[in-house]
Chains A and B, each alone.
Chain A
Amino acid sequence: MAKIPGPGFDVIGQLRKMRDQGMDTWAKAAIRFTSSDRYQRMTGILVQPGLLATALVRNSTEKAMSDLLARLNMPSREEVLSLSQRLTRIEVVLDDLSAAVDAFRNPHPEAQPEASPARASQGNGDGMRVRIPAAGEN
């Protein structure tokens, strides 16, 4: 569409070629710059005040909200989050029960529920803090 009739000189094509060559040079220079230690250190320094301010605002807002919600006799954010984590723990127990029921109802000779998830959850309670209750516990 952009070709000029005649000797086959494509103006747009030539402009694009020049642009792409310029872009290549620009891209290589930009990669050298953003990979440099100097750029990364500078970025680190520049974002510090923003992160500090965000953390301060976040903490003070959360504290103010907690006080307000407590006065209104409503659950705080922490309480809702903790409820969610407790629900996940219940899900984990239900998952084991479901696996046991699966194995009971549909006993593939080669597909028994293995013990590894429960075994894994006997750890120190970090992270998801999931612990499978032992038989008779609860």
Chain B
Amino acid sequence: MAEQIPGIPGALERLTAIAQNALKIATTKATIGSTPRRAIWTLNKATLYQYTPVVPAEERHPVPLVLVFALMNKAAILDLRPGNSFVEHMLKRGYDIYLLDWGVPGPEDKDLGLEDYVLEYLPRALRKVKAVSGSESFTVLGWCIGALLSTLYASLRPDDGLKNLILLTAPLDFSNPEAISLARMAAERNFDVDRLLAAYGNMPGELLDYGAKMLKPVENFVGSYLRVLDNLHDNKIVDSWHAMNTWVSDGIPLAGRTYRQLVVELYRQNKLMNGTLALRGEKVDLGRLRANLLNVIAEDDHITPPCQSDGLVDRIASTDKTVLRVPGGHIGIMAGSGAVKTTWPKIDAWLAARSGK
């Protein structure tokens, strides 16, 4: 019957696709972070992975690339899905890639502070990278809070072999709270961080997610779902949305002590830029940062506005420093559909020139 009336088979196919896609996004999680890798080091909840190279050893860049993501979301965003994966892209361009996954802190980790991540976990993981790769120097790419941790490490341990430092949307400068929505949210007059930590121990992932989404409430709570509803018949758009939504809704808690340091010492007191931040008694001096720097700034970032990353280049001792401004938001510049044509090739071009022996 359907074959006799033109248009009906197409309509049926479309309806079937809509039903299947609606069921899929409502009842399942997308598979993300699926590029082959092996765990080579663990400490507490943190794991260091090495991705399986796809380029012969003689054609690979000798300097390994270590990815350091934020503490409050899973690092799978760097390897979202085949065809839209930064890891996959860089593997094909001959990089030896490692990923430091911080894991999910439990109640026993509420006392973990920035000093633990910067002075214990990161140096140990990088020591393992050096041992496995056989290279004395390495590149660190940090994103969001991962960029903050990488900057702190680069300033405190400039002689440990860090050759190149790539920062993506790094929240470093909090001197202009009026331009930073999260800084206004975290202001002492509005927010009692100690009361929150007394209630929860760690900062729950759901609250972090809610706080970030409230910066653009209509887009995050309504617009995102309307977009996928409009395109339920399109498998490509649905798969892309599903992968991103799986990642967004899989937030993880932030260790209580680290959260308090971020709110009080950085968002409120701007200690890093003021030169008063100290970790275990060691003063963090940005002037000691000597690695080659690529500072990637998202022009439309509402979580880390450009003013938070702009000022770094004037404070560091590096002679090779580049600022790359990319149109897009906090996540979109690296995981959006356009990243493969805009951000990734630029990072590759900058890094390839600096990844020789």
Contacts and interface: CB of A to CB of B under 8 A. Distances in A.
Interface in A61-98: 77, 80-82, 84-85, 88, 91-92, 95
B289 to A, nearest CB: 15
Contact of A103 (B131, B219, B257): B131
Nearest to A56: B199
Given A110-B135, A111-B131, A123 B112 contact: no
Contacts of A130: 116, 120
Contacts of B128: 99, 102
A76 to B, nearest CB: 13
B123 A124 contact: no
Chain B contact residues: over half helix, strand or loop, or mixed? Answer: helix
B190 A37 contact: yes
Contact of A91 (B43, B191, B282): B43
Given A48-B192, A52-B195, A55-B195, A108 B134 contact: yes
A54 interface: yes
B226 interface: yes
A127 B199 contact: no
A55 B113 contact: no
A16 B191 contact: no
Contacts of B113: 126-128
A12 to B, nearest CB: 10
Contacts of B120: 92, 117, 120-121, 128, 130
8 contacts: A30-B216, A30-B217, A40-B187, A44-B192, A95-B43, A110-B136, A116-B127, A120-B115
Interface of B: 11, 14, 41-44, 106-108, 111-113, 115-116, 119-120, 123-124, 127-128, 130-131, 133-136, 157, 160-161, 181, 184-185, 187, 189-192, 195-196, 198-200, 214-219, 222-223, 226, 230, 257, 280-282
Nearest to B222: A23
A60 interface: no
Contact of A123 (B185, B198, B281): B281
Contacts of B14: 1
Nearest to A25: B218
A34 B112 contact: no
Contacts of B41: 95
A138 interface: no
Given A23-B226, A34-B215, A88-B44, A117 B136 contact: no
Interface in A22-49: 23, 26-27, 30-31, 34-35, 37, 40-41, 43-44, 48
Nearest to B189: A41
A114 interface: yes
Contacts of B196: 51
B253 to A, nearest CB: 15
Given A92-B43, A99-B131, A31 B280 contact: no
